[in-house]
Amino acid sequence: MDFTGWTYLLQFVEQEGDQKACTEAYDAFFQRYPYCYGYWKKYSDMHKKHGDLIKAAEVFERGLKAIPLSVDLWLHYINFNTSEFANEENAEEKLRKLYERAIAASGTDFRSDKLWDSYIAWEKSKEHLKAVTTLYDRLIKVPTQLYSHHFDNFKAHINKHHPKEILDLDEFMKVRQEVVAKAHNYSGDPDDDAELESTALGIDAPPGADAPPGLDPMVDEAEIKKVKAKIIDNREAIFKSNENEVSKRWAFEEAIRRPYFHVKPLERAQLKNWREYLDFEISTGNHERIVYAKYLEQHSIEGVRNVYRRACEIHLPKKPYIHLAWAAFEERQGNNKTAQEILSRLEKNVPGLVMVAMRRISLERRQGNHDEAERLFQENLEKTTSNKCRTFFAIKFTRYLQKVRGETEKARQVIKAAVDVDKQNERLFLQMLDVEYQAHPVDENRIMEVFQNILSSDLSIEFKVKISQRRMEFLEDFGTCIRRITEAYDEHQKLVKDMNSDKRKRVPDGSEDQPEKKVKTEVTTNGGAEQPAGPPPPEPAPSYPSYPGWGSYPGYPGYHSQWSSYPPPSYGGSGYGSYY
C-alpha cells in the first residue's frame, strides 16, 4: 500500500522499456489504485510506443471502466482515436459514438465543460452545424461550472449562421411562422393557415415538393435577425432554469478541494460537504446525479453491487463494516454464496475479528447449514489464543447448541471444556449454571453439583457469596429437601462471615476506629443532652446482580457494545433486530 514505492517502480520499468515488465507492474498497480487516470494514459502510451495500438486501446477501455467519471481520461482516449484511427472505415461515426459514451458517463459532472467543448468543436470541424445546435440544446440544460460561457457560445453560433443551416426543418418552420405571424398581425384564424404558410416560405412551392427550401435569400436581413432572436429567446427560459440549478450547487462545488482521486484521506470538513451535497441531490429527486449504495438499493441492484465492489476491493479492503454491509446486502438478494465469499475473504484479510466470525456463523445458521455453523464455532475455539475470545465463543456455542439445536448434553460438554481451560473465569461458571437452568425439566442434583463446583473452586470470596445466595434462591424455588435448604443457609452465613473477616484483614492499620469517631449524634428531647444516635446500620447482605448482557463485555477484538444494532446503521440493512 506504499503509493510512493509504486510510482518509483513504474518510473523504473518505463525507463527500462521492457513491455512485459511494464505490463506486470502496471497491472499490479491498478489492482490497488485504479483511479489514477494519468497512469492509465502512461500505460497506454507504453503500448503505443511499442507499436501495439490494440493493446493501447484496451488499456483505455479498462481505465474508463474503472473511472467512467474521468473527463480527462475520456479526452485522452478520444484524442488517441482521432490520431490513430482517423483513416479507418466509418471513423467519423465511431468517434461520434465514443463522444456519446463519454457524455453519457461524465457529461453531467459539474466540471465536464471541456468534454462538451471538445465534442462541439469536433462537430464544427466537420461542418455539422445542426448537430452543433443539438449539442448546445443538451448542454444548456446541464448545471456545469461554465454554464454562462456555453450559452454565450450558443448565441454566437446562432448569430453567425443562417437559421436554415443550423436548425432542423420542423423547428425552422415553426420559428419562421411565429416571426411572420407576429409581423403580419396573424389572428390565429384557421382559414388563414395556408396563406400564412405560403408567406412563411417566401416562395410558391411547386405541388408535390418534398421539402420547402427555407428562407428566401432575398428576404431582408431584418427578418433573419428576428428569426435568430426568436431562436435564442426560446432557449432563454431553459438557460435561466439551469442558472438557478447551478446557483443551488455552487456552494457545494466551491467547497470541494479535491475533485480528483488522491491516496490521502479526505478531511472531515470535505466529507461533511459531500454528505450535505448528496442530501441536497436526494431532495431534488435527480437519480442520475446520485450514485451510492444506500440510495441506489431503491433504484438499481447492480448499481449497489458496483459501489460495494469498488469500496471493498479497491478503497477499503481491510475495513470490516463496509464488507459486512455488502455481505448483508447480498444475503438480502438471496446470493448466500456471494455473502459467504465476502465474509471469508474479509476474515483472511483481517484475521481475529470476532464480529466477522460470528457473522459467518450466523449466515450458516440462517441457511440451516448447522453442521457448517458448528464447524466454524469449533474452529474459532481451537485457533484463538485469547482467553477472552475463547470464553466468548464457548458461551455463544453453548447457547447455540442448547437453544437452537436442542443438544443440552453437547452444550454441557462445550462449557465444561472451556472451564477446564480457564478455571478462574466467572462468566464460564455462570454460563454453566445457565445451561442447567434452561434444561427441561430442571435437574436439582445437576444444578447443585454445579453450585458445589463453584463454591469449592479458587474463585473470589465475593463471587462465591453471590453464587451461594443464588443457590438459596434456587432451593427455595425448586428444592425438594428442607435439610438441604437449611444446610445451604448455614453455609451461606459462614461465607458472609468469612468475606467480612477477609475485608477487615485488608483494612490498613488504625483505620478500623475511624467509623466510630465519625458516628453522628443527635439532640434528644430528654433533658437536652447529646447522645449517640446508635451504631451505623448493618451492611446489607450482597445481592446477586442480574445476568449481564454480552453487549457490555469489553476487550473482544472488533466486538463492542455499539454492536447492539446489527449491521451498523451507517450501511443500512434491515431485519436484524437486536444482535444479542
Residue with cell 436581413: 221
Of 277, 321, 540, 440, residue with least CA distance to 308:
321
Of 463, 387, 472, 379, residue with least CA distance to 429:
463
What is the rounded CA–CA span in Å between residue 12 and residue 476?
Answer: 82
What is the rounded CA–CA span in Å between residue 368 and residue 390?
Answer: 24
Say whether pLDDT at 192 is over 80: no
Ramachandran region of residue 352, left (φ > 0), alpha (ψ -120 to 50) or beta?
A: left
What is the rounded CA–CA span in Å between residue 252 and residue 274?
Answer: 8
Say whether pLDDT at 384 is over 60: yes
Is residue 390 within 8 Å of 418, Cβ to Cβ?
yes
pLDDT of residue 507: 63
pLDDT of residue 569: 32
And the C-alpha cell for 551?
A: 453487549
The pLDDT-based confidence of 59 (bands split at 50, 70, 90) is very high
Is residue 45 within 8 Å of 85, Cβ to Cβ?
no
Q: 559 pairs with which residues across the strands?
A: 556
Q: What is the pTM of this model?
A: 0.63
304-to-33, 35, 288, 300, 379 alpha-carbon distances in Å: 21, 19, 14, 6, 33
Higher pLDDT, 89 or 51: 51
Is residue 364 within 8 Å of 339, Cβ to Cβ?
no
- Long-range CB pairs of 449-456 (<8 Å, 24+ gap) are 453/429, 454/429, 455/491, 455/495
pLDDT of residue 219: 54
What is the rounded CA–CA span in Å between residue 256 and residue 445?
Answer: 71
Q: 530 pairs with which residues across the strands?
A: 523
pLDDT of residue 380: 93
The pLDDT-based confidence of 442 (bands split at 50, 70, 90) is confident
Weakest-pLDDT range from 184-198, 256-270, 378-392, 516-530: 516-530
Residues of the chain with pLDDT > 70: what percent?
79
What are the strands, taking DSSP E only, across 499-575? Answer: 521-523, 530-532
Mean pLDDT of 74-86: 91
**H helix runs in 426-535, sequence order:** 426-438, 444-455, 461-478, 482-506, 514-517
Mean pLDDT of 301-329: 89
Mean pLDDT of 548-562: 40
Is residue 326 within 8 Å of 343, Cβ to Cβ?
no
pLDDT of residue 534: 42
| φ and ψ of 562, to 5 deg | -65, -10
The pLDDT-based confidence of 287 (bands split at 50, 70, 90) is confident
Of 26, 49, 28, residue with least CA distance to 38:
26
* 145 residue type, one letter: Q
| φ and ψ of 559, to 5 deg | -145, 105
Weakest-pLDDT range from 86-95, 100-109, 556-565: 556-565
Per DSSP, the three-state class of 548 is coil
Weakest-pLDDT range from 86-100, 362-376, 404-418, 512-526: 512-526
Of 349, 363, 351, 425, residue with least CA distance to 388:
425
pLDDT of residue 273: 93
Higher pLDDT, 424 or 377: 377
pLDDT of residue 99: 96
Per DSSP, the three-state class of 559 is strand
Say whether pLDDT at 579 is over 70: no
Say whether pLDDT at 416 is over 60: yes
Of 489, 303, 471, 525, residue with least CA distance to 311:
303
* 510 residue type, one letter: G
pLDDT of residue 184: 66
Mean pLDDT of 120-128: 94
Q: What is the mean pLDDT of the chain?
A: 81
And the C-alpha cell for 286?
A: 435527480
pLDDT of residue 509: 55
Is residue 124 within 8 Å of 132, Cβ to Cβ?
yes
Please tell me which of 37-51, 77-91, 501-515 the model is most confident about, judged by mean pLDDT.
37-51
Weakest-pLDDT range from 208-222, 246-260, 302-316, 476-490: 208-222
> How many residues are recorded in the chain?
580
Higher pLDDT, 206 or 498: 498
Q: 532 pairs with which residues across the strands?
A: 521
